[in-house]
Every structure is written in structure tokens, then in C-alpha cells.
Homo-oligomer: A and B are copies of this chain.
Amino acid sequence: MGAETKAEIRQIEGGVTAAKGFEAAGVEAGIKYQNRKDMALIYSTVPCRVAGTFTSNVVKAAPVLWDKKIVEESEYAQAVVVNSGIANACTGSQGMDACEETAACAGKLLQLPADAVLVASTGVIGMQLPTDRICAGVEKLAAGKADTPEAGLDAAKAIMTTDTVHKQIALEVELGGRTVTMGGMCKGSGMIHPNMCTMLGFVTTDANISKEMLQKAVSADVVDSFNMISVDGDTSTNDTLLVLANGLAGNEEITGESADYDAFCEALHVLTTYLAKKMAGDGEGATALFECHVVGADTKEHARILAKSVICSSLTKAAVFGHDANWGRILCALGYSGVQFDPGQVDLYFMSKSGKMLIFSEGNACDYSEEEATKLLSDPEVTVLADMHMGDAEATAWGCDLSYDYVKINADYRS
């Protein structure tokens, strides 16, 4: 998993059904896609504390508005219904009605109030949801839900749009002598520039944690996980991360800052960072995960801005696609980030499994081998390390290369 952790965190098999009390399902509902799963359900056998972060886009999809209200006003939630294919964004009051109908339909079948049912949509903007097919889908989901790894996998597959692989992970961590399990799934892979990511992310855990501390943990976490990735610089109308905690692990409730809270946050960060990197590496048309690690910055916020500017640069991304060591574009992207620094003090390295090369130092290009640089840049995971020599702050951002396939996928996405 790579991250340095203090708490003992173990990766285990599975995803959103790994934690106690969580069930899931993924079914074919024919919303827009044909012959593939396109609706998912996450369900907890007992009520859950719920926290979330949502798109900062002024244009918020109907399901974002629905969920935001629940996260902010309700004490508990118990189910999430997700569809892919249609985003239910820019759909006016009819779009809100569709959320309410979906939740009511699921509530009736699962014997829950409608406001205990969260909804999420991803796909084309501007089309109305076919609520008859949505409700038929919910029926199949409710009938087929299970607490098995296979059910979790079905859900992770059903939420994909242009994703080429499903994305899930599960972890265990000890909190107050109890083993707490945490599972998560997410989807990318275009309109990804989370400021909260058309990312949808769902985390389930059996940790016992207060609503307040759960939201605090989630809000603090996304700043250095999902908000540090970008595929194309477009912040979606639907970005949603929901975290459900049902308490079934039986640990003493986390109600404030504590060693247990820190361990929970650490485990959450390992999980979200794993999912965020998977999302960036599976960006539309991507052939490589492109990471920028900034060290020696004067402040943490500056380190974040610098790292994100590099992974967002179209020119740098095209160079990574071409395995071309065009480091001038990287220095250029650092330079227009808005952060002040002395270019003469910056050291730039290219890193991958093939090695590490100093490319630029003391204001000049280093005497490196273009052949070796091209080899290094041909790896499926490429890192730029920028040492600003200004202080101790560091940050990492993740993106992907810019390929012909990004254009192909997006020139005619709707047909």
C-alpha cells in the first residue's frame, strides 16, 4: 500500500461488503447501457452514521442535493442506490422527483424511511432518468443483495462508466482492541478534477464513531486524497464521496480526538489514497499513472498547488504519453501555479520502477541520457519529484497521461 502508517493496517480481500453488517448488489437495469450491470445497492442491516463530501460545482446534480440534505440533517442512513449511464444532472425539478421516487421505492422494499436512502448517479448530463426502469432495478437489487465478496464486486462493476477496471479495496485496523473493517469502491474516469471527483466513492465501515467525528475525518481526508487527483481538469456536477459507519465492530465509540480517531483516519487515508490513485491511473484514455511529489515547499498548501499544477498540465501529460522527457513543461507548470519560488533553486527528478534521474538543477538542464529518460518514462507509473528547497512541506498529486483515446472517448461520448 506504500504509505507510512503508525497504526497496523492490513489489506484484506473484498470491498464494500467486507465490514460487518454490509450487503450489496449489482444488476442490469438497462438505464442506458445494454448488456452490463448498471445499478448498485449498498445496504446496512443496521442504521449508519453517514458523512460525505460533494462537488464544489455551482451546478449540482439532483442526487448531490438529495444526499447533501441527508448528510447534513439526518442522524442516520442505511442504504445507497447508484446508477450509471445517466447523471441526473441539469434535469431541473423532474430530476429531484426522480431522486425522491428512487428513494421511496428502495425504502418501501427495504422497510426504511425514504430519507435513510442515499442516491447517486453518473453518466451523461442532461438526460432524465427512466424512473420505471430505475424502480424495476431497485427491486432486483433488493431481492439480490448479499454480504458476500461477489456482491461487493458486482456493485463495484455496476457503477463504472468509461472506467476500464473496477476499483475496490478493504482493510482491517485495530481500534480499542477491536478489529474494525473498512471497505470502499469508486469509479472515475472523465470529468475528474475533484474539488470535493465524476467520481463517485463509497466507503463502508463497521467502526463505531460519532457523526461529527466521521464527517471531520472525511473532510480532512479528501484534501490529500481525492482532491489531489485530476484526469482532465473538469470538476463534475456529480462528485460524491459517502462514508457509512454502522458501529457493528463494537469498538468504544469515537467521540473526539484520540489515538483511535488517529488510527481510523490513518486507515481511511490508506483506503482513499488507494482508490484515488486507481482512479487517476484509469483516467479516460490513460496509459500511465502520472504522479507529482513536491518536497521542500514553504507551506503544505503551496506543495499541494504545485503538485496539482504539474499533473493538470495538458502539455506535460501529452509528453508523458510520448515518453518524452520534456521537463521544461514541468517547470513551466510549477511556474504558473500561482506559487512564488526561485526557479534557480528547484531540483527536478524523473522516477519510476526503472530508476531515478536528476534532470534539472541549479537553473540548468543536467547532463542526463535521453535514452534512459525515455526508458524510465515508459513505465506504467511515472513520478516527477520536485524539490523546491524552501522548507519542509510536501504533497503528492496523481493524474494520467493525455492520449489519443481521451479525445476519442470524449469527442462522441453520448452516442
Instruction: List residues of A whose CB falls within 8 A of some B CB.
Output: 55-60, 87, 89-94, 124-127, 190-191, 193, 195, 232-237, 312-315, 318-319, 321-322, 324, 326-329, 331-337, 339-341, 343-344, 360, 362-365, 402-404, 406-415
A402 (CB) vs chain B CBs: closest residue: B407
Contacts of A312 in B (CB 8 A): 233
Could you tell me if A126 and B411 are in contact, using CB atoms closer than 8 angstroms?
Answer: no
Contacts of A193 in B (CB 8 A): 336
Could you tell me if B332 and A237 are in contact, using CB atoms closer than 8 angstroms?
Answer: yes
Question: In the complex, A340 Cα to B94 Cα: how many Å?
Answer: 23
Question: In the complex, A326 Cα to B125 Cα: how many Å?
Answer: 8
Could you tell me if A332 and B59 are in contact, using CB atoms closer than 8 angstroms?
Answer: yes
Could you tell me if A58 and B335 are in contact, using CB atoms closer than 8 angstroms?
Answer: yes
Given A235-B336, A326-B413, 19 additional A-B pairs, CB 8 A? A59-B331, A59-B334, A60-B335, A87-B328, A89-B328, A90-B328, A90-B365, A91-B363, A92-B363, A124-B326, A125-B329, A125-B332, A126-B328, A191-B329, A237-B332, A315-B410, A318-B406, A318-B410, A324-B411
Contacts of A363 in B (CB 8 A): 90-93
A333 (CB) vs chain B CBs: closest residue: B234
Contacts of A126 in B (CB 8 A): 327-328, 331, 360, 365
Known contacts: A58-B339, A336-B57, A364-B94. The answer to whether A319 contacts B403 by CB under 8 A is: no
Could you tell me if A318 and B236 are in contact, using CB atoms closer than 8 angstroms?
Answer: no
Q: How many identical subunits does the complex contain?
A: 2
Question: In the complex, A59 Cα to B414 Cα: how many Å?
Answer: 40
* Chain B min CB distance to A384 (Å): 15
A362 (CB) vs chain B CBs: closest residue: B92
A231 (CB) vs chain B CBs: closest residue: B314
A87 (CB) vs chain B CBs: closest residue: B328
* Chain B min CB distance to A402 (Å): 6
Highest count of chain B CB atoms <10 Å: which of A312, A339, A412: A412
Could you tell me if B234 and A341 are in contact, using CB atoms closer than 8 angstroms?
Answer: no
A237 (CB) vs chain B CBs: closest residue: B332
Could you tell me if B58 and A314 are in contact, using CB atoms closer than 8 angstroms?
Answer: no
* Chain B min CB distance to A198 (Å): 9
* Chain B min CB distance to A176 (Å): 41
Could you tell me if B236 and A233 are in contact, using CB atoms closer than 8 angstroms?
Answer: no
* Chain B min CB distance to A223 (Å): 17
Could you tell me if B365 and A413 are in contact, using CB atoms closer than 8 angstroms?
Answer: no
Contacts of A413 in B (CB 8 A): 319, 322, 324, 326
Contacts of A326 in B (CB 8 A): 124-125, 413-414
Known contacts: A190-B315, A332-B57, A365-B126. The answer to whether A412 contacts B232 by CB under 8 A is: no
Residue among B58, B328, B336 making CB contact with A58, cutoff 8 Å: B336
Question: In the complex, A363 Cα to B403 Cα: how many Å?
Answer: 34
Question: In the complex, A58 Cα to B346 Cα: how many Å?
Answer: 12
* Chain B min CB distance to A238 (Å): 9
Question: In the complex, A61 Cα to B300 Cα: how many Å?
Answer: 27
Question: In the complex, A388 Cα to B6 Cα: how many Å?
Answer: 51
Could you tell me if B410 and A319 are in contact, using CB atoms closer than 8 angstroms?
Answer: yes
Question: In the complex, A91 Cα to B365 Cα: how many Å?
Answer: 7
Contacts of A327 in B (CB 8 A): 126
A341 (CB) vs chain B CBs: closest residue: B58
* Chain B min CB distance to A16 (Å): 27
Question: In the complex, A337 Cα to B312 Cα: how many Å?
Answer: 16
Question: In the complex, A362 Cα to B93 Cα: how many Å?
Answer: 10
* Chain B min CB distance to A62 (Å): 11
Q: Can you pick out 6 interface pairs between chain A and chain B where the beta carbons lie within 8 Å of each other?
A: A58-B339, A92-B344, A191-B315, A232-B314, A319-B413, A402-B410
Question: In the complex, A60 Cα to B343 Cα: how many Å?
Answer: 9
Could you tell me if B332 and A191 are in contact, using CB atoms closer than 8 angstroms?
Answer: yes
* Chain B min CB distance to A290 (Å): 13
Could you tell me if B58 and A234 are in contact, using CB atoms closer than 8 angstroms?
Answer: no
* Chain B min CB distance to A265 (Å): 28
